[in-house]
Amino acid sequence: MSFGDSLVSDSWEVANGVSMSILQNPVRTRVHATGKGEHFSVPPHWHIAHDERHVIIKGRIKITQDGVTRIIGPEDGVSFTGRRVVHSIEGFPGEELIIEETSTETELTEQKILLFRSMFHDGILQSPLAIMQVFYYGDSYPVFAFGFRWLEVPVVIILGRWVAPSLGYKLPDSRLRLDPVRFPRDKKD
> Could you tell me if 73 and 16 lie in one domain?
yes
* Helix, strand, or coil (residue 64): strand
Q: Is residue 97 domain-shared with residue 113, that is, in the same domain? A: no
Residue where one domain finishes, among candidates 77, 104, 131: 104
Instruction: Determine the average pLDDT of the residues in 129-138.
Output: 95
Q: Does 82 share its domain with 20?
A: yes
According to the model, what pLDDT value does residue 147 have?
Answer: 76
Residue 53, strand partner residues:
80, 102
Same domain, 48 and 133: no
Q: Taking 50 as the threshold, does the pLDDT of residue 2 lie above it?
A: no
Judge whether 141 lies within some domain: yes
Residues 73, 118 share a domain: no
Phi-psi region of 98 (alpha: psi -120 to 50; beta: other; left: phi over 0): beta
- Average pLDDT (61-72) is 98
Q: Going by DSSP bridges, is the β-strand pair 87-91/41-46 parallel, antiparallel, or unpaired? A: antiparallel
Average pLDDT over residues 90-118: 93
Report the domain count for the chain.
2
* Residue 41, pLDDT score: 95
pLDDT greater at residue 184 or residue 141: 141
Residues 15 and 90 in one domain: yes
Report d(CA 48, CA 181) in Å as an integer.
Answer: 10
Nearest CA to 139 out of 67, 72, 84, 74 is that of 84
Query: How high does pLDDT run on average in the chain?
Result: 91
Residues with Cβ < 8 Å from 44, sequence gap 6 or more?
A: 64, 86, 87, 88, 142, 143
Q: Once rounded to an integer, what is the mean pLDDT over residues 92-104?
A: 95
Residue 4 lies in a domain: no
Average pLDDT over residues 28-44: 94
Q: Residue 120's domain spans which residues?
A: 107-166
Which of the listed residues 75, 104, 133 is the one where a domain comes to its end? 104
pLDDT band, very low/low/confident/very high, at 186 (cuts 50, 70, 90): low
